[in-house]
Amino acid sequence: MKFCTEKIIGIPRAISYYNNYPFYYGFFKGLGYEILLSDKTTSKLINTGSQYVVSDTCLPIKVFVGHVVNLLEKGCDTIFVPSLQSTAYKVNNCTKIRGLPEIIRNIINQPFRMIEPTLDKTNNLTFKDFCFETAHQLNIFEEEKINLAIKSGWEIYNNFQKMTLIGIPFHEAVKNAIEGKMLSKPIEIVKPLSVIIMAHGYNLFDERISLNLIKKLEKMGVKTYTGLNVSKEDAIKSIEKIGEIQYWANELDLTGAAAHYMLSNKVDGIVALSAFGCGPDSLMVDEIQYHASERNLPMIHLTIDEHTGEAGFVTRIEAFVDMLIRRKRKIAKENNIKILSSTKRKKIVNAEQKAEDKTLSLI
């Protein structure tokens, strides 16, 4: 136990890390704690995680368990495992995320200290209570210190959110937010196609779980939008606009983002990425599929588990992108928009960039 006496807290690089890490960073730094992150997800780590849980458990939980074991192997004995029950009145999370501390407590037979605060707005446990509970479990009771820590946490988180909203990729945004830097809006490269990826952050931004989906799509010349590019208010509004009710706490990343881009006609297709056997996703993807088919918008549903092979995955994405291109060409032909060869295209791009309505001619 190397870190036993020191003030170090271990955060597994899974589940809530992908949405809230900037806040956690500022908060724990404010409380005077050092943060130890687990290693990045690897196949070996997933295998370790799978050994601890029953086989029906979904991939993200297996990965989470793997990360906890990884932290324990590193010698960290204080691990942060939050239970995010509900984020608004009667808007609950998935049962497995709600019960994360219960799972971890009962499957790992090794003494360690688990920091397990509860966020449950249905039962009037607000985010402030959540932070205070965390601090109390770490034996910090000075109210002023905790309040300051919360403030510094929000500062970093707000910077992170500002950066993601203007389109900076997740990993870059986290890195810069933690260092206290603020990046300006990146230059937008015009690409012939654009899609919205509807997926939970912990699936999409984990490079092993999502098999680098974002990079793969970008290599094929497709611009990708994610749930991080949509603000919370916009997401809630657009869910209401398409006539649905927000039921899951983490629905904004999926239905919210997809509905927002679907309503604004910004994208050519929807890519849904979900883990096999995921309960909430099965409903949310179906919801969006229903609305997408009404609007005649192509959609693909990619399912992943620990055995997903990369080759089959790539084939499916390629087929989908090919289909999108052919479809766009056909629409262009029907509307009598001339398709130019690639050498001529570049000259005209600059001239026509301002006229937004005619973006179709770019192909």
Partner 1 sequence: MLNELKQREEQKNRFFQKDNTIATKDRVVAWPRMGNIDLALNALVSSLGVKIVEAPPNTNEALEIGVKNSIEGICLPYKLNLANYIMALEKGANTLMMFQAPGSCRFGNYTKMAQKTLKKMGYKFDMVVFDMYQSKMKQTLQAFWHVTRCTNPFRYYKGFSTGFNKAFAIDTAERLLFYTRPRELNKGEAERCYRKWYKKIAETTSIWGCKQLKKQIIKDFKKIPIDKNKIVPKVYLLGEFFVLLDPYTNKEIEKTLGDLGIEVERQIFFSDWLEHVLQPSFLYKKESHRERCVRFAEQYMKRAIGGETIETIGDTVYAARNGVDGVIHIMPFSCMPEIVSQNILTKVSREEDIPVMSLVLDEQTGKAGYQTRIEAFIDLVKRKKMKERLNNK
Which residues are at the interface with partner 1 (CB under 8 A)? 53-54, 56-58, 83, 85-86, 88-90, 92, 94-96, 98-99, 101-103, 105-107, 116, 118, 122, 124, 240, 243, 245, 247, 277-283, 285-286, 290
Residue 336, both tokens: 């009598």
Judge residue 272's burial from the number of C-beta atoms within 10 Å of its C-beta, 0-12 exposed, 13-18 middle, 19 or more buried: buried
Alpha carbon 87 to its chain centroid, in Å, reads 16
Residue 171, both tokens: 């990993």
Collapsing DSSP states into helix, strand and coil, what is residue 97?
helix
Q: How far is the CB of 233 from partner 1 (least distance, A)?
A: 15
Q: How far is the CB of 54 from partner 1 (least distance, A)?
A: 5
How many Å apart are CA 151 and CA 23, to the nearest integer? 9
The smaller minimum CB distance to partner 1, of residues 52 and 205, is found at 52
The smaller minimum CB distance to partner 1, of residues 109 and 265, is found at 109
The maximal CA–CA distance of the chain, rounded, in angstroms, is: 73
Q: How far is the CB of 249 from partner 1 (least distance, A)?
A: 10
> Any residues with CB less than 8 A from the CB of 144 and at least 6 apart, and which?
none
The smaller minimum CB distance to partner 1, of residues 75 and 277, is found at 277
Alpha helices in 166-270 (DSSP H): 170-178, 201-204, 213-219, 232-241, 257-263
Q: Around 348, how many Cα atoms within 13 Å sit in the side-chain half-sphere? A: 14
Q: How far is the CB of 144 from partner 1 (least distance, A)?
A: 28
Collapsing DSSP states into helix, strand and coil, what is residue 42?
coil
The smaller minimum CB distance to partner 1, of residues 56 and 188, is found at 56
Q: How far is the CB of 337 from partner 1 (least distance, A)?
A: 34
The smaller minimum CB distance to partner 1, of residues 37 and 108, is found at 108
